[in-house]
Amino acid sequence: MIRKLRTGTFHTGMVLLSLLWLGPVIWVVVMSTRTFDDIAANGVGSLPHSFTLDTYRQAWVDGGELRALVNSLLVTVPSVLLSLALAAVAAFALSRYRIPGRRTILLLMLAGNLLPPQILLIPVQKFSELTGLYDTLWALITVQVGFGLGFYTFVLHGFMRDLPGEIQEAATIDGAGPAQIFTRVMLPLTRPALAALGALSFTWIFNDLLWAITVLRTDDRMPVTPALLALQGQFVSSWSVIAAGTVIAAVPTVAVFLRFQRHFIGGLAIGAVK
Protein backbone atom coordinates (compact mmCIF):
# COMPACT_ATOMS: atom_id res chain seq x y z
CA MET A 1 0.00 0.00 0.00
CA ILE A 2 2.70 2.47 1.05
CA ARG A 3 4.74 1.29 -1.86
CA LYS A 4 1.92 1.96 -4.31
CA LEU A 5 1.43 5.41 -2.82
CA ARG A 6 5.12 6.19 -3.22
CA THR A 7 5.15 5.03 -6.83
CA GLY A 8 2.08 7.16 -7.44
CA THR A 9 3.69 10.25 -5.90
CA PHE A 10 6.87 9.66 -7.88
CA HIS A 11 5.07 9.47 -11.19
CA THR A 12 2.76 12.41 -10.46
CA GLY A 13 5.74 14.57 -9.49
CA MET A 14 7.81 13.51 -12.46
CA VAL A 15 4.98 14.02 -14.93
CA LEU A 16 4.50 17.55 -13.60
CA LEU A 17 8.25 18.22 -13.84
CA SER A 18 8.41 16.81 -17.38
CA LEU A 19 5.52 19.08 -18.27
CA LEU A 20 7.44 22.03 -16.88
CA TRP A 21 10.30 21.10 -19.21
CA LEU A 22 8.31 20.16 -22.29
CA GLY A 23 5.48 22.65 -21.79
CA PRO A 24 7.25 25.77 -23.07
CA VAL A 25 8.52 23.82 -26.09
CA ILE A 26 5.08 22.49 -26.98
CA TRP A 27 3.65 25.95 -26.46
CA VAL A 28 6.05 27.46 -28.99
CA VAL A 29 5.34 24.70 -31.53
CA VAL A 30 1.59 25.26 -31.17
CA MET A 31 2.04 29.00 -31.34
CA SER A 32 4.01 28.75 -34.59
CA THR A 33 0.82 27.51 -36.30
CA ARG A 34 -1.41 30.39 -35.19
CA THR A 35 -2.32 33.26 -37.49
CA PHE A 36 -1.32 36.85 -36.83
CA ASP A 37 -4.96 37.87 -36.33
CA ASP A 38 -5.54 35.11 -33.82
CA ILE A 39 -2.61 36.25 -31.68
CA ALA A 40 -3.56 39.92 -32.06
CA ALA A 41 -7.12 39.18 -30.94
CA ASN A 42 -6.54 36.57 -28.24
CA GLY A 43 -2.99 37.29 -27.04
CA VAL A 44 0.13 35.09 -26.86
CA GLY A 45 -1.10 33.34 -23.75
CA SER A 46 -4.34 31.98 -25.11
CA LEU A 47 -5.07 28.60 -26.65
CA PRO A 48 -5.02 28.50 -30.47
CA HIS A 49 -8.10 29.54 -32.43
CA SER A 50 -6.55 29.09 -35.85
CA PHE A 51 -4.15 26.93 -37.84
CA THR A 52 -1.70 27.97 -40.54
CA LEU A 53 1.68 26.92 -41.86
CA ASP A 54 2.21 30.22 -43.66
CA THR A 55 4.29 31.35 -40.67
CA TYR A 56 6.92 28.79 -41.70
CA ARG A 57 6.95 30.12 -45.24
CA GLN A 58 7.44 33.65 -43.89
CA ALA A 59 10.29 32.65 -41.59
CA TRP A 60 11.83 30.41 -44.24
CA VAL A 61 11.68 32.81 -47.19
CA ASP A 62 11.00 36.39 -46.03
CA GLY A 63 12.94 35.96 -42.81
CA GLY A 64 15.93 34.41 -44.56
CA GLU A 65 16.02 31.28 -42.42
CA LEU A 66 16.74 29.12 -45.47
CA ARG A 67 19.91 31.02 -46.27
CA ALA A 68 20.88 31.10 -42.61
CA LEU A 69 20.43 27.36 -42.33
CA VAL A 70 22.60 26.82 -45.40
CA ASN A 71 25.26 29.09 -43.87
CA SER A 72 25.08 27.14 -40.62
CA LEU A 73 25.60 23.83 -42.38
CA LEU A 74 28.41 25.28 -44.53
CA VAL A 75 30.18 26.24 -41.32
CA THR A 76 29.25 23.35 -39.05
CA VAL A 77 29.99 20.34 -41.28
CA PRO A 78 33.53 21.35 -42.34
CA SER A 79 34.30 22.58 -38.81
CA VAL A 80 33.31 19.27 -37.24
CA LEU A 81 35.21 17.19 -39.81
CA LEU A 82 38.33 19.35 -39.72
CA SER A 83 38.55 19.64 -35.96
CA LEU A 84 37.98 15.92 -35.42
CA ALA A 85 40.57 15.04 -38.08
CA LEU A 86 43.20 17.32 -36.56
CA ALA A 87 42.34 16.24 -33.02
CA ALA A 88 42.51 12.57 -34.00
CA VAL A 89 46.00 12.77 -35.51
CA ALA A 90 47.29 14.82 -32.57
CA ALA A 91 45.75 12.46 -30.05
CA PHE A 92 47.14 9.46 -31.95
CA ALA A 93 50.70 10.76 -31.96
CA LEU A 94 50.55 11.98 -28.36
CA SER A 95 49.02 8.82 -26.95
CA ARG A 96 50.82 6.08 -28.90
CA TYR A 97 54.34 7.48 -29.38
CA ARG A 98 56.90 8.94 -27.05
CA ILE A 99 56.73 12.50 -28.25
CA PRO A 100 58.97 14.69 -26.07
CA GLY A 101 56.88 16.98 -23.87
CA ARG A 102 53.67 15.22 -24.85
CA ARG A 103 51.96 15.76 -21.53
CA THR A 104 52.68 19.49 -21.54
CA ILE A 105 51.46 19.81 -25.12
CA LEU A 106 48.25 17.98 -24.30
CA LEU A 107 47.50 20.05 -21.21
CA LEU A 108 48.36 23.28 -22.99
CA MET A 109 45.92 22.39 -25.76
CA LEU A 110 43.21 21.59 -23.22
CA ALA A 111 43.92 24.80 -21.31
CA GLY A 112 43.39 26.76 -24.53
CA ASN A 113 39.90 25.36 -24.82
CA LEU A 114 39.08 26.23 -21.23
CA LEU A 115 40.00 29.90 -21.71
CA PRO A 116 37.05 32.28 -21.55
CA PRO A 117 36.44 33.25 -25.19
CA GLN A 118 36.10 36.90 -24.17
CA ILE A 119 39.86 37.28 -23.95
CA LEU A 120 40.14 36.08 -27.56
CA LEU A 121 37.31 38.06 -29.19
CA ILE A 122 39.11 41.30 -30.00
CA PRO A 123 42.41 39.76 -31.15
CA VAL A 124 40.58 37.14 -33.22
CA GLN A 125 38.47 39.77 -34.92
CA LYS A 126 41.51 41.91 -35.66
CA PHE A 127 43.47 38.89 -36.92
CA SER A 128 40.64 37.86 -39.23
CA GLU A 129 40.57 41.42 -40.62
CA LEU A 130 44.33 41.29 -41.11
CA THR A 131 44.18 38.02 -43.04
CA GLY A 132 41.19 39.12 -45.10
CA LEU A 133 39.03 36.37 -43.65
CA TYR A 134 36.79 38.77 -41.73
CA ASP A 135 33.13 38.49 -42.67
CA THR A 136 33.64 35.20 -44.54
CA LEU A 137 32.45 31.78 -43.44
CA TRP A 138 36.11 30.67 -43.51
CA ALA A 139 36.83 32.91 -40.56
CA LEU A 140 34.12 31.21 -38.54
CA ILE A 141 35.24 27.72 -39.59
CA THR A 142 38.88 28.30 -38.66
CA VAL A 143 37.97 29.89 -35.33
CA GLN A 144 35.69 27.01 -34.45
CA VAL A 145 38.36 24.48 -35.36
CA GLY A 146 41.08 26.30 -33.43
CA PHE A 147 39.01 26.82 -30.33
CA GLY A 148 37.50 23.32 -30.15
CA LEU A 149 40.64 21.34 -30.97
CA GLY A 150 42.08 21.25 -27.46
CA PHE A 151 39.09 19.57 -25.89
CA TYR A 152 38.60 17.03 -28.69
CA THR A 153 42.30 16.13 -28.59
CA PHE A 154 42.16 15.63 -24.85
CA VAL A 155 39.12 13.35 -24.99
CA LEU A 156 40.42 11.32 -27.95
CA HIS A 157 43.82 11.02 -26.27
CA GLY A 158 42.18 9.51 -23.19
CA PHE A 159 40.33 7.07 -25.41
CA MET A 160 43.28 6.03 -27.61
CA ARG A 161 45.63 5.67 -24.67
CA ASP A 162 43.38 2.97 -23.22
CA LEU A 163 43.35 0.87 -26.40
CA PRO A 164 45.47 -2.29 -26.07
CA GLY A 165 49.05 -1.94 -27.33
CA GLU A 166 49.28 -5.45 -28.78
CA ILE A 167 47.35 -4.56 -31.93
CA GLN A 168 49.72 -1.73 -32.69
CA GLU A 169 52.70 -4.00 -32.06
CA ALA A 170 51.31 -6.65 -34.36
CA ALA A 171 50.80 -4.06 -37.10
CA THR A 172 54.32 -2.76 -36.57
CA ILE A 173 55.76 -6.25 -36.96
CA ASP A 174 53.85 -6.56 -40.18
CA GLY A 175 55.74 -3.52 -41.37
CA ALA A 176 53.06 -0.86 -41.01
CA GLY A 177 54.21 2.72 -40.49
CA PRO A 178 52.47 5.31 -38.29
CA ALA A 179 50.18 6.40 -41.14
CA GLN A 180 48.89 2.87 -41.72
CA ILE A 181 48.58 2.15 -38.02
CA PHE A 182 46.55 5.31 -37.68
CA THR A 183 44.17 4.76 -40.58
CA ARG A 184 43.86 0.95 -40.48
CA VAL A 185 44.13 0.17 -36.79
CA MET A 186 43.48 3.11 -34.50
CA LEU A 187 40.82 5.00 -36.41
CA PRO A 188 38.37 2.08 -36.68
CA LEU A 189 38.81 1.39 -32.97
CA THR A 190 38.21 5.04 -32.09
CA ARG A 191 34.94 5.23 -33.96
CA PRO A 192 32.63 5.29 -30.91
CA ALA A 193 34.52 8.22 -29.42
CA LEU A 194 34.58 10.02 -32.76
CA ALA A 195 30.84 9.54 -33.20
CA ALA A 196 30.18 10.88 -29.72
CA LEU A 197 32.41 13.91 -30.21
CA GLY A 198 30.99 14.46 -33.68
CA ALA A 199 27.43 14.62 -32.41
CA LEU A 200 28.43 16.90 -29.54
CA SER A 201 30.56 19.25 -31.58
CA PHE A 202 27.87 19.49 -34.24
CA THR A 203 25.42 20.90 -31.72
CA TRP A 204 28.03 23.14 -30.10
CA ILE A 205 29.15 24.71 -33.35
CA PHE A 206 25.66 24.87 -34.81
CA ASN A 207 24.35 26.55 -31.66
CA ASP A 208 27.16 29.08 -31.34
CA LEU A 209 26.32 32.78 -31.29
CA LEU A 210 29.36 34.59 -29.92
CA TRP A 211 31.97 33.64 -32.53
CA ALA A 212 29.54 34.23 -35.38
CA ILE A 213 28.74 37.79 -34.35
CA THR A 214 32.43 38.44 -33.68
CA VAL A 215 33.85 37.47 -37.08
CA LEU A 216 30.82 38.09 -39.32
CA ARG A 217 29.00 41.32 -40.10
CA THR A 218 26.87 40.90 -43.21
CA ASP A 219 23.34 39.64 -42.52
CA ASP A 220 23.42 37.32 -45.54
CA ARG A 221 26.34 35.40 -44.11
CA MET A 222 25.00 34.89 -40.61
CA PRO A 223 24.28 31.33 -39.47
CA VAL A 224 20.97 30.38 -37.92
CA THR A 225 21.58 31.49 -34.34
CA PRO A 226 22.27 35.19 -35.00
CA ALA A 227 19.73 35.13 -37.85
CA LEU A 228 17.09 34.11 -35.36
CA LEU A 229 17.86 37.21 -33.30
CA ALA A 230 17.59 39.31 -36.45
CA LEU A 231 14.28 37.65 -37.28
CA GLN A 232 13.03 38.78 -33.92
CA GLY A 233 13.81 42.37 -34.86
CA GLN A 234 12.30 42.02 -38.32
CA PHE A 235 8.98 40.50 -37.20
CA VAL A 236 8.62 42.44 -33.98
CA SER A 237 5.10 41.50 -33.02
CA SER A 238 4.51 38.56 -35.35
CA TRP A 239 4.97 36.07 -32.57
CA SER A 240 3.90 33.11 -34.64
CA VAL A 241 6.58 33.81 -37.27
CA ILE A 242 9.22 34.15 -34.56
CA ALA A 243 7.98 30.89 -33.07
CA ALA A 244 8.19 29.21 -36.49
CA GLY A 245 11.75 30.53 -36.92
CA THR A 246 12.63 29.16 -33.49
CA VAL A 247 11.31 25.72 -34.41
CA ILE A 248 13.26 25.74 -37.67
CA ALA A 249 16.47 26.68 -35.86
CA ALA A 250 15.99 23.89 -33.32
CA VAL A 251 15.18 21.08 -35.76
CA PRO A 252 18.74 20.24 -36.99
CA THR A 253 20.23 19.78 -33.51
CA VAL A 254 17.20 17.83 -32.33
CA ALA A 255 17.55 15.60 -35.42
CA VAL A 256 21.24 14.99 -34.74
CA PHE A 257 20.45 14.25 -31.13
CA LEU A 258 17.70 11.76 -31.96
CA ARG A 259 19.84 10.04 -34.60
CA PHE A 260 22.93 9.79 -32.37
CA GLN A 261 21.18 9.71 -29.01
CA ARG A 262 23.30 6.94 -27.53
CA HIS A 263 26.58 8.47 -28.72
CA PHE A 264 25.46 11.89 -27.59
CA ILE A 265 24.75 10.92 -23.99
CA GLY A 266 27.84 8.71 -24.02
CA GLY A 267 29.90 11.68 -25.20
CA LEU A 268 28.74 13.84 -22.34
CA ALA A 269 29.64 10.99 -20.01
CA ILE A 270 33.14 10.73 -21.53
CA GLY A 271 33.54 14.39 -20.74
CA ALA A 272 32.50 13.69 -17.17
CA VAL A 273 34.81 10.78 -16.61
CA LYS A 274 37.87 12.43 -18.17
Residues in 84-123 at the binding interface with other proteins, rule: CB under 8 A? 86-87, 89-90, 92-94, 96-99, 102-103, 105-123
For the range 93-99, what are the long-range contacts, defined as Cβ-Cβ under 8 Å and sequence gap of 24 or more? 93/178, 94/153, 94/157, 95/157, 95/160, 95/161, 96/160, 96/161, 96/168, 96/181, 96/186, 97/178
Q: Binders of other proteins among 10-69, rule CB under 8 A?
A: 10-11, 14, 17-18, 21-22, 24-25, 27-28, 31, 43-46
Q: How far is the CB of 1 from other proteins (least distance, A)?
A: 19
Binding of other proteins at residue 173 (CB under 8 A)? yes
The CA distances from residue 177 to 90, 99, 168, 180, 185, in Å, are 16, 16, 10, 5, 11
272 Cβ neighbours under 8 A, 6+ residues apart: none
One residue of 36, 56, 154, 159 binding other proteins per CB under 8 A: 154
Say if CB 91 and CB 185 are below 8 A apart: no
Given the rule CB under 8 A, which of 51-59, 60-68, 184-192, 221-229 is the region that contacts other proteins? 221-229
Say if CB 55 and CB 273 are below 8 A apart: no
Q: How far is the CB of 116 from other proteins (least distance, A)?
A: 5
Q: How far is the CB of 32 from other proteins (least distance, A)?
A: 10
Q: How far is the CB of 54 from other proteins (least distance, A)?
A: 19
Q: Binders of other proteins among 236-255, rule CB under 8 A?
A: 239, 242-243, 245-246, 249-250, 253-254
Binding of other proteins at residue 188 (CB under 8 A)? no
Given the rule CB under 8 A, which of 48-56, 57-65, 186-194, 203-211 is the region that contacts other proteins? 203-211
Select 75 or 243, whichever has its Cβ closest to other proteins.
243
